[in-house]
Structures are given as structure tokens and as C-alpha cells.
Amino acid sequence: MGLDIHVLIVDWTWLGESPQRERLSRLREAWYDDATGLWGHDAPETEGEWQRPRGPAAHRFACYEFRRTCGSYKAHFWAGQRWESIRHQVGPQMRTGLDALLLGLILDGPDGDVRYRDQGFFGDDAGVSRGLLVARSPSGVRELAAVWQWVRPLLSGLRAAFEEHAAVPDGWVGDFDAFARLLEDWGRVLAEAARWDWGVVGLSE
């Protein structure tokens, strides 16, 4: 659980030019490139902003800085746990919508199955997909973006249930505002990726 997560939107066609086993390494190489990448260079000064690389990869991917998470995956994990604490306290439509959104991004299925990684695109070899936390193709992004647009105006209706059943003072995503903020940031990521018809990739380091 000491993982960091870097969430990127990615030109899926550009990645698809490479053989399946080489796609993730291609993304990492572009990201880490000393001259034109973005690792260690020009980090966003303000959370909630996008960071784009320089040079030939400038139009191939961008990294989003989630607000008030310190880059940690813990915030995303605990958002899922908070949802589990309240999902049976809300109406069936809202439950179905948020289940779909969170299962598509950060939440394991009821049997522990992981549904938020498009392993087929990057390969199923654990050695090849090392550090891959999230992988959604453009079609998956569009589906989740549509779910978010439906859920978003209803989100405030969860406040009472969250405060009664899920609030944890001083805990990760311990109040409703933190929970809503994290979901809104995922909504920004999905909307931007859908606008470009790109995919979403979450990587750990």
C-alpha cells in the first residue's frame, strides 16, 4: 500500500504501433526521456493540472496531478473502501452507477477479480506489465466518462450516508469532500481522455 500512482492519458494508436509486449516500455521510455520526457522536469506547480512532455512525444500523453493525494495510491484505495461502507445505504441507480465507475478504475470485483486493467493491450505477462495499476482503452474510457456524467449531479446526495457510515477523522479520504474531490479528479481524467479518444493508464513507481 506504499505505492505512488501516476495517471496518464495516452494516445492508444501511438502505443498500438508497437508489439504488445513492448507497449508499456515504450510509454515509460517516452516518459523518462532525459531531454523530452516529463519525469523530474517541470512538475505541475498546482494540483489539478496537466503535465505534458516536450519534443516528439508532446502530443502522445499527459500526466494528471490529483489534488490532495500526495501522489499516493492510498487515496484511491481508501476511496473504494469508503464506497463499500455506504453502497448499501444508497438507491439502486446510484449504487449501479458508482459501482461501474469505481470497478472500472480502482475497485476490485466482489471475488477479488481486477476489472480496471486492460491486460490484453499490454500483455498478461507480469514481467511486462510491472507497475501497471490501471489500463482503460478509449472505448472503456468513453463508457466510464458517460457513467461519470450521469453520476456527477447526484454525488451530493451521498453526503449524509458518507458522514454517518464512512467518515474517518484524519483517515485517507476521511470525509465526503475528499471523496467527492477524488471522484471529480477521475472525472477530469476521463473527460480529457474521451475528448482525444485516448486511453487511461495508471502506473506505480
What is the tens place of the pLDDT at every residue in 109-161? 666 666 778 878 888 788 888 889 999 999 999 999 999 999 999 999 999 99
Nearest Cα to 204, choosing from 119, 146, 130? 130
What is the tens place of the pLDDT at every residue in 74-104? 999 999 999 999 999 999 999 999 999 999 9
Rounded Cα distance between 37 and 30, Å, is: 6
Report pTM. 0.92
Question: What pLDDT sits at residue 18?
Answer: 93
Residues in CB range of 49: below 8 A, 6 or more apart: 64, 65
